[in-house]
Amino acid sequence: MAKENTDLPHNLVAFVNDPVSEQVIAKVIQEKTIAYAEAKQGSCQDAVNFLKENRSPKVLIIDISDSELPLGDIAKLKEHSTPNMNIIVVGSRNDVGLFRDLMNIGVSDYLVKPLNTNIIKKAIDDANGIKVGSVVKTGKMIQFISSVGGAGATTAVSNVGWILANKHFKRSLVMDIDFLYGTANLMLDMKTENAYLDILESPDKIDDYFVETVLRKHGNRLYYLGGLVDLVRGVNVDIDAFEAMLDIIKRQFNYILIDSQREISSINRLCMDKVDAFIIMIEMSVASAQNTARLLEYLNTTQAKKKVLIVANKVGFSSSGALPKESFEQVIDRKIDYIMPVDENIALAAANIGQPVAASGGSLAMALEDITDDILGKRDNASIMKELEERQGWTLDRIQDEAGNILQKIKNVLGD
């Protein structure tokens, strides 16, 4: 029997900048008997600090009356929240343009002060309900695939998850779908959960609460989900149950990182259909080059529009059968995106104590951080700026000046 997970989110948290609004919201909480809810005086930055230390509430009420850049402040809040958090914005400006802009970035409602209990109650009810035509907000799912055994998918999954959770404050899940020989739990010093396998055989058990009970927690924002079956009994996974579980966790996490099975099973195919991007881990061998070329052909046929990164692991490891980088790229007909240098001592020591390599520093950790930045979209921005500098002779200062000029023009138009 799985133990109960007490790490449950607040139902509602409010940060407002005046005592009257605070009292109105507190009265609503009392009248609606909302458990795990609180109203307090605070700013957008106070809300960000709260989200860094706590799980995202189901509903966040935030006051932007004192905000100079309200859209930027809300965007920052969303960066530190899970996809399923609903945001109700409170402000002092009766501005249709601001209302539309807030709706466009995913805010549930915009309320103009002074507040009253009826308006707050309706906004909370609407935020907790699903409106017709609304788009369900979900996190990003990345699937890691090893081209050959030992190419490092498990190492990459565990460490990228750790970086996302500990350095970027993203609620992240490492999900191991290799039920026979998965080892992601060892990388994080976690126990596998038999109840996880039970729900995969029983669609009627799938709901938000039961999924919560089988998650194992590693630190403040990193979670693990995986199970190892008896090799004799095996597991009969109900594909509908597995899909329902994926849909639930995509609402609960910013990032879900999947450590794949080696075979193209029905579970693997479903994950491939659901994920947003793939990371293929390779080693510089003929077998890896052959398998990578086949994988790329398969993904190009079945998942043509999705992003694929090629990451070379253990580069620098002495082997008589190693292919030069240029030869490998010629076989797969594309460039290798990232290189993870060999660092056997750190990698082995970290694996033995269940400590992520990324926490140890060094060249391998830096490569993993580069991969994480790409997943977050940060590497692309840096590449664009560098390309502008090289093509047009612009310096970084020039680019920043131009960006400042554009921002000022936008402010002039909006009247901020």
pLDDT in tens, 298-338: 999 999 989 999 999 988 765 656 888 999 999 999 999 99
- Of 128, 149, 182, the residue at which a domain comes to its end is 128
| Residues 359-368, mean pLDDT to the nearest whole number | 82
Is residue 2, in this structure, part of any structural domain at all?
Answer: no
Provide the whole-model pTM. Answer: 0.75
DSSP state letters, 146-202: ESSTTSSHHHHHHHHHHHHHHHS---EEEEE--TTT--HHHHTT----HHHHHHHT-
- Please give the pLDDT value at position 413: 58
Cα radius of gyration rounded to whole Å, the chain: 24
Q: Do 370 and 387 belong to one domain? A: no
Between CA 195 and CA 3 the distance in angstroms is 10
Residue pair 314/152 in contact (Cβ under 8 Å)? The answer is yes
Q: How confident is the model at residue 343 (pLDDT cuts 50, 70, 90)?
A: low
Is residue 134, in this structure, part of any structural domain at all?
Answer: no
Q: Do 179 and 288 belong to one domain? A: yes
Question: Is pLDDT above 70 for 134?
Answer: no
Residue pair 219/251 in contact (Cβ under 8 Å)? The answer is no
Q: Do 52 and 72 belong to one domain? A: yes
Question: Is pLDDT above 80 for 211?
Answer: no
Strand pairing category for 277-282 and 255-259: unpaired
Q: How many domains does the chain have?
A: 3
Is residue 366, in this structure, part of any structural domain at all?
Answer: yes
Q: Which of 52-61, 155-164, 187-196, 259-268 has the least mean pLDDT?
A: 187-196
Q: Do 114 and 157 belong to one domain? A: no
Is residue 7, in this structure, part of any structural domain at all?
Answer: no
- Of 81, 96, 128, the residue at which a domain comes to its end is 128
Domain hosting residue 266, numbered range: 140-376
Among the listed residues 67, 7, 78, 3, the one whose alpha carbon sits nearest the alpha carbon of residue 36: 7
Q: Do 89 and 157 belong to one domain? A: no
Question: Which range, 34-38, 185-189, 236-240, 293-297, is most confident?
Answer: 293-297
Question: Which range, 6-10, 35-39, 126-130, 198-202, is most confident?
Answer: 35-39
| Residues 85-102, mean pLDDT to the nearest whole number | 91
Q: Do 372 and 389 belong to one domain? A: no
Q: Do 308 and 174 belong to one domain? A: yes
Is residue 303, in this structure, part of any structural domain at all?
Answer: yes
Give percent above pLDDT 70 in the chain.
83
HSE, side-chain direction, 13 A CA sphere, residue 57 = 25
Residue pair 87/77 in contact (Cβ under 8 Å)? The answer is yes
- Of 128, 152, 172, the residue at which a domain comes to its end is 128
> Residue 82 is which amino acid?
T
Q: Do 108 and 167 belong to one domain? A: no
Is residue 172, in this structure, part of any structural domain at all?
Answer: yes
Is residue 135, in this structure, part of any structural domain at all?
Answer: no
Between CA 369 and CA 206 the distance in angstroms is 34
Q: Do 176 and 288 belong to one domain? A: yes
| Residues 143-151, mean pLDDT to the nearest whole number | 92
Q: Do 48 and 93 belong to one domain? A: yes
Q: Do 98 and 150 belong to one domain? A: no
Is residue 6, in this structure, part of any structural domain at all?
Answer: no
